[in-house]
Amino acid sequence: MQPAIEWLPAEGRPEQLILLLHGAGAEGSSMWPLAQALRGEFPQAALLAPDAPAAVDGGGPGRQWFSLAGINDDQRVQRVAAVLPALQAWVRQTQQRLQVGPAATAIAGFSQGAILALEAAVHDDGLAGRVLAFGGRFARLPAAAPRHTTVHLFHGGADAVIGAAHARAALQHLGALRGDATLDIAEGIGHELHPVLLERALFRLRNHIPARTWAAALGAVPGLPQHLADDEED
């Protein structure tokens, strides 16, 4: 995968690695608003937004991570599983190249990119310390919550492409599994990387202390109930 955006710190080695995955029919450059917001907040982070490897269905403009042609719930699970290994390998190669470890890595995705980011966290626990999912969903709600990844969900309350009900269900499900997750819903916002949601993402990255960090500091036993937050923004 070739990065459409690759921003490195002006000086010194990267302290964080933030990978941005675009939605279907778009390109890595479409993640520029999020990249710009993150760069202003985390100047020592490396920010990369690759183009998805496949041409969009029908040969139109843009790229896609997996085909949406005739998709249903079972096919979504299968198609995501087929492309995850390549994404996971690219993440690890990028971590090695830039010498940033998994705990300091965040994967942020929009729509189809958010689906990939969420599923990567479940299928390769510890690949990244945080996942930021904008307007996405799990391909299938997981049987177990990731223990080494905090999941941040951001959704427009008026999203007509992937309904906010998926985000609410994911938060409830991860909470029941003692996962570490947050949810921010912006009412009246549709399927987009809206500035309100970008600001909430910065807030979460600045202020949310992962439950595993609290557990380590307190000497807690792994598997005890973890922090769960649910905030809704108008």
Q: Which residues are catalytic?
A: 111, 159, 191
Q: Kindly state the DSSP code that residue 64 receives in the 8-state scheme.
A: E
Q: Output the CA–CA distances (angstroms, integers) from residue 206 to 145, 199, 201, in the order listed.
A: 23, 11, 9
E strand or H helix at 114, and its extent? helix 112-123
Task: Spell 24-48 as b/e; 16+ CB within 10 A means b.
Answer: bbbbbebbeebbebbbeebeebbbb
CB atoms within 10 A of CB 160: 8
